[in-house]
Amino acid sequence: MKTPDLGRVDAHEKVTGTASYGADRVPDDLAYAMFAVATIGKGRTVSIDTAAAEAVPGVRLVLTRFDEDELRGPGFLMGGGFAFQSLQPLLSDVVAYRGQPIALIVADTLVAATEAADLVRARYEIEPFAVGIDDEGATSVLQEEALPWFPDVKVGDAETAYAASPVQIDETYLHPAQHQVPMELISSVVQWKGDRLVVHESTQNAGALRHGVAAQLNLDPADVDVISPYIGGGFGSRNALQPHIGPLALAARRLRRPVKLVIPRRQTFHTGSFRPVSRHRIRLGADPSGRLLAALHDADHQTSRHDLYPAMYTEITSRLYAVPNFGGRQRLVQTDVQTPGFMRAPNEGPASFAFESAVDVLAYATGQDPVELRLANDTATDPVTGLPFSSRHLAQCLTRGAERFGWQKRDPRPGSMRAADGSLVGLGVAVGAHPVLVAPAVARMSAGADGRVTVGVDGHEMGQGIRSAIALLVAQDLGVPVQDVVVRVGDTRVAPQHLTAGAWGTATALPAVHKALRELRKRLGAGDTGTVEVAAAVRATGHGSPEVEVTSVGPGQPPEMLDRSRAGLFSAAGPVFPDFTAFSWAAHFVEVRIEATTRRIRVPRALCVADCGRVASPVTAASQVRGGVIWGISEALRESSEVDPRFGGFLNTTLEEYPVAVNADIAEIDFDFIDEPDLLLSEVGVKGLGELTMIGVAAAVANAVFHATGQRQNRLPIRIEDVM
Amino acid sequence: MMKTSPTAGRPAGLVETAFTVNGEQVRFELDPRESLLDVLRERLVLTGTKKGCDQGHCGACTVHIDGRRVVSCLTPAVQVAGRDVTTIEGVAAPDGTLHPLQQAFVDCDALQCGYCTPGQVMSGLACLAEGHTETDGDIREYMSGNLCRCGAYIGITAAIRRVADQTKQTEV
Amino acid sequence: MRSFAYVVPDSVAGAVDALAAAEPGTKILAGGTTLYDLMKLGVEAPPAVIDIHRLAELTEISTGEGELSFGAGAKMAEVADHPVVRRDYPALSESLWRAASQQLRNMATVGGNLLQRTRCGYFRGGAEFGCNKRDPGSGCAALEGLDRTHALLGASDACIATYPGDWAVALIAFDAELDVVGPRGERTLPLGDLHVEPGDNPVLEHTLAADELILRIRVPATPAGRGSTYHKIRDRESYAFALTSAAAAVTLDAQGTVTDCRIGLGGVATRPWRATAAERSLLGEQLTMGTARHAGEVAFADARPVRTGAFRVELGIRTVTDALLTAGKQAAR
């Protein structure tokens, strides 16, 4: 069954400005908050002078310290807690990193709060700090020792097999720190309604916000509502409790007023997570024909002093090809930063850049065509577990892509192709994979006498189109117009709202919705398939609006996972399920043109062929591909969070100095879907797409730059000075 | 005559400022520090205009002043005294019918998360009015002041192209 | 932001009077894109601002015989799209539309843009970073810092901040002049005399007195205008400051010999930079890849490369080369 081409169901709200994001509420008697932040790299505050801030007319509160009884630590998301980092500012005099909040100001107006925040002055005791992974004072631990539950992938005896390989490739790659910079600033409006706390914040994890702030403030989670119907871009930056919520809620309670905080763009570079620096040594052993015999992937991965943010690079690099011997070793390097975290394709982006660049080196070393070499190393089974892949159409992605892209016209010799204007032309290929994870979900569905069907489910709408995919599934299943389907997501009042990330959102929500549809059909006395005249069926039941509630878990997940999810805890599972391993797959083809003289690198066309299972919503899926490829281009050619080691923190903390791709950077992006449902995974057959579409793009760009120039690019971003 | 706010030391006084927003007259006592963006969002609750950087780097806050697109975050609100401000809320017809460019954004799926979209629409309307639509390259160049982190650029360019072509046909 | 008094004069004369009577540190507000931004950052904290953006006297544009004249209050977008400027002085038009975004160009004025302040991250970043321009005597954090986009020409041990503008770079190549007014009346100065290098006092960026304001910019008519271009190399295709840029204008005789040549450099110097020696190197020569490249090398002969920005010397040479060749093609039309 192919999904019809229906549009985005919430597009109307978005083009009229009526979609409501976190800060788009202005309740009566609203007060405005602002943070003052630390201006040193690390140390302690000796004293904080707030007198000038307090003297600003309209200032109501200047808070520099909370009691541990009123504000508890939130716990680290990846350590059984709720927050992007364990460190809660304003609980002690410790300054762990530049940009850490040291005071919260609340005032009647935004100008007063802002002026007052600028007037807070702290005296510090400065301690030595290290921000870069090679800086003196950075310390490292082996992940498998520090976090045994995130083990390195090891198959066979990779060192020995590599040493015995006739062809050896040994390359090291550096991926910079990057920031998610969604267009919407981190912002919240918090409001007490009696003892009930209502939080309006654009979040990918309303469940963790609810339970996290409840734990921090010693509230019953049932007394906390988190409302997040739209998110102005997530990309991982909003996937956990942020440390401003607790202080904001306490301030609102003291003042008995609703409080709004919109964190300034500059501060967002330090108040939330980021993609950490990573370094990857890739060793490939192969026979003279390019058949892989061994692969070793050693990664150094930046984390903070206070949390061990795990690396999972080898999860995909061990599965791209039929590699009989694989050796992963991941080292965590502790530095003086806020805890890094997830950013679109958090592990897979850097890992594929490194590994797929090395595979291109292998292709040239063995005289093989890069597409053919990849096809020759294809595998139907997971080399790590020996289980079958639930579905893997990667070879088809490559062959279909090569045909569509015109790969045959490529002269493989570096520097051999020129455009009419004298630009160097390079064509590059790389593949990507993303693990399929599935989380538990709760879906509630009701049908009204007006014929409308309302569905509330775990999931957050952040532009990926989950609302559209859900509405489409319901509309198609029941044969009702899509306009008659009301979808409520991102709202703790309708479902637990487990984290939506890792591209599992749609794959998690749809099976629950599918199950709810089966139950609703029963309640409506309808058969399991076929069109349902909803209004008539509702009237025929004779009692109001039938409502059903169902739960679902991922394949092989025990039902107790629902309890974790209901407690706001991380509960996704995969990609290894009892009977199979599940990944989505993609092949990327990129053309670069490099000016003959001033060496600007442009990407006139790119192609992504994706195996994401069934395409749940063609229109939004197409946009997901274009957006993902643009992210990959921006990752490869633009983005880097810069550090001045003398000061700590990040320096280029504006959208001017942190250059993301603009409209003029983007030309043609073509795509194709395999569109084969993965029915081992679920009845709806959907795998993930949102992250997959950028995974491999950076390597394809780097490989294309090599093809154009003969210069390998082992460090991102690739800029003019790298190809002069 | 010179208008001036009281200068006798800080804090400086408020400035009475009147202007129209989407055709309706408004009047405020403004602190001269307030940006047009914050006045629109926090005083008029016209929250379709978005704050993405507050520094003139992203275009999410684009509105029209006397028909020209500007970033409202770098516009002190006192500067719009007597001007006509148009925001995204003033674009669709009073009966709710979308403007052709809004409809083209829907049809071309020129958006994902939707946060930059009001700014893109306001900027796109101005791009059309200015006539910077001769080629797709022109559209891309003149729409580069509106960042879209989701990467909906291809749809945005297509939507503006569609309306530009419709307009051209109508004129012919 | 610190609060300030907001003054709205209704004439240029009124503005001059208000400025003369104002507290020290009072600033003129036109488009606001630099001043209001820096006030938000706390880099500027004037006690009062005098808003001149409504003064119609300042917005006249004329393109009559002999010279072009742009009122200081004309918007960048308006001048960029002016048909005569586009046709006869492409470098001027391009320097404007390749700057910022259309929204900002609709706000910023051509007079205010001349005095746009540097985008150095340490200058804008806050009090924790040493910056002799923002806080005299506090040092220059950029000297030992992230200096990829800092000045190669005209820098000092006190400051290596790059002048960020484009428009002034094109204007300086065309010998533009400014009419300014103050309590002592009007005066005229060459644009080349407006900006100063940082030396040991980076606070001082220009030669206008505190009580003067720019009335208009005048550009003497020249046939070199038609054979001109503004070439700008950035980290992305649009909406970014220059890594390197060059305004180039040439006049060729019937044999293709260069009889007039103008070169301005942007993104590489502490002020709009006129490359006069490079201009001279081309006079009497045929314009070829070789002579254009040589002119580029002469233009950067005195470049003092900073550490991570050193690639911009070669990039700048190539930018000048390409700009000259493009200008030559324009001139030969």
pLDDT value of residue C64: 86
Per residue in A350-370, pLDDT (tens digit) is: 999 999 999 999 999 999 999
Kindly indicate the confidence band of residue B1, based on its pLDDT and cuts at 50, 70 and 90: very low
The whole-number average pLDDT for the span A369-378 is 98
pLDDT value of residue A4: 56
Kindly indicate the confidence band of residue B8, based on its pLDDT and cuts at 50, 70 and 90: very low
Residues of chain C positioned with their CB less than 8 A from the CB of A115: 1-3
Residue A332 bridge partners (DSSP): A141, A301
pLDDT value of residue B167: 87
**Which are the contacts of A594, defined by CB distance < 8 A and separation ≥ 6?**
A423, A424, A426, A600, A601, A602, A705, A708, A709, A723
Kindly indicate the confidence band of residue A507, based on its pLDDT and cuts at 50, 70 and 90: confident
pLDDT value of residue B9: 37
- Kindly state the tokens that stand for A172: 């090291």
Q: What is the 3-state secondary structure (H, E, C) of A348-413?
A: HHHHHHHHHHHHHHHHHHHCCCHHHHHHHCCCCECCCCCCEECCCCHHHHHHHHHHHHCHHHCCCC
pLDDT at C188 over 50: yes
Among C144, C315, C321, the residue with its CB nearest the CB of A724 is C315
C323: closest chain A residue by CA: A598
The whole-number average pLDDT for the span A517-532 is 95
pLDDT at B33 over 70: yes
Interface test with B, best of A8, A10, A14 (most B CBs within 10 A): A14
Interface of B with A in 27-46 (CB under 8 A): 31, 33-34, 38, 41-42, 45-46
Find, among C309, C172, C177, the residue nearest to C243 by Cα: C309
Interface test with B, best of C1, C3, C6 (most B CBs within 10 A): C6
Query: How would you classify residue A588: left for phi > 0, otherwise alpha for psi between -120 and 50, otherwise beta?
Result: beta
Could you write out the DSSP letters of every residue in C234-252? -SSSSSS--SEEEEEEEEE
Residues of chain B positioned with their CB less than 8 A from the CB of C82: none
Residue A356 falls in the annotated catalytic set: no
Residues of chain A positioned with their CB less than 8 A from the CB of C319: 598
Per residue in A399-442, pLDDT (tens digit) is: 999 999 999 999 999 999 999 999 999 999 999 999 999 899 99
Domain extents in chain A: 31-128+186-262, 154-173+275-436+579-722, 437-566
Could you write out the DSSP letters of every residue in A191-223? EEETTEEEEEE--S-HHHHHHHHHHHHT--GGG
pLDDT at A232 over 60: yes
Domains of chain B and any CATH numbers = 15-90 (3.10.20.30), 100-171 (1.10.150.120)
pLDDT at C306 over 90: no
Tell me how far apart the alpha carbons of residues A663 and B144 are, in angstroms, rounded to a whole number. Answer: 5
A664 half-sphere exposure, CB direction, 13 A CA radius = 20
Tell whether domain A31-128+186-262 is in CATH 1.20.1440.20.
no
Q: Do C103 and B2 touch (CB under 8 A)?
A: no
Q: Do B88 and A16 touch (CB under 8 A)?
A: yes
Distance from CA of C161 to the nearest CA of B (A): 20
pLDDT at A5 over 80: no
Q: Is A188 helix (H, G, I), strand (E, B) or coil?
A: strand
CATH for C1-52?
Answer: 3.30.43.10
Per residue in B40-89, pLDDT (tens digit) is: 999 999 999 999 999 999 999 999 999 999 999 999 999 999 999 999 99
Interface of A with B in 592-651 (CB under 8 A): 619-620, 622-624, 626-631
pLDDT at A602 over 50: yes
pLDDT at A2 over 50: no
Per residue in C154-168, pLDDT (tens digit) is: 999 999 999 999 999
Per residue in A112-142, pLDDT (tens digit) is: 999 999 999 999 999 999 999 999 999 999 9
| Cβ contacts from A onto B, under 8 A | 185
Main-chain phi, psi angles of C93, to 5 degrees:
-60, -45
pLDDT value of residue B11: 45
Q: Are A156 and A324 in contact, with CB atoms under 8 Å apart?
A: yes
Average pLDDT of chain A, as a whole number: 96
Residues of chain C positioned with their CB less than 8 A from the CB of B140: 237-238
Q: Are A301 and A331 in contact, with CB atoms under 8 Å apart?
A: yes
Residue A214 bridge partners (DSSP): none
Of all residues in chain A, the percent with pLDDT exceeding 90 is 95
Q: Give alpha helix (H) positions in A45-109.
A: 51-54
Among C5, C8, C107, the residue with its CB nearest the CB of B75 is C107
Q: Are A198 and A187 in contact, with CB atoms under 8 Å apart?
A: no
The CATH superfamily assigned to C227-328 is CO dehydrogenase flavoprotein, C-terminal domain (3.30.390.50)
Q: Print burial letters for C148-182: b (CB count within 10 Å at least 16), e (below 16).
A: bbbbbbbbbebbbbbbbbbbbbbbbbbbbbbbbbb
Domain extents in chain C: 1-52, 227-328
Q: Exposed, middle or buried by CB within 10 Å (0-12, 13-18, 19+), for A67?
A: exposed
Give me the amino acid identity at C215: L
Query: What's the CATH architecture for A154-173+275-436+579-722?
Result: 2-Layer Sandwich (3.30)
Among C2, C4, C104, the residue with its CB nearest the CB of B56 is C104
pLDDT at C249 over 80: yes
Among C127, C237, C318, the residue with its CB nearest the CB of A598 is C318
Residue A392 bridge partners (DSSP): none
Q: Right CATH number for A437-566 from 3.40.50.720, 3.40.190.80, 3.30.365.10, 3.90.550.10?
A: 3.30.365.10
Q: Do B70 and C9 touch (CB under 8 A)?
A: no
Per residue in C1-13, pLDDT (tens digit) is: 999 999 999 999 9
Angle between the C289-299 and C311-331 helix axes, to the nearest 10 degrees? 130
Interface contact B151, partner A, CB < 8 A: yes
Average pLDDT of chain B, as a whole number: 93
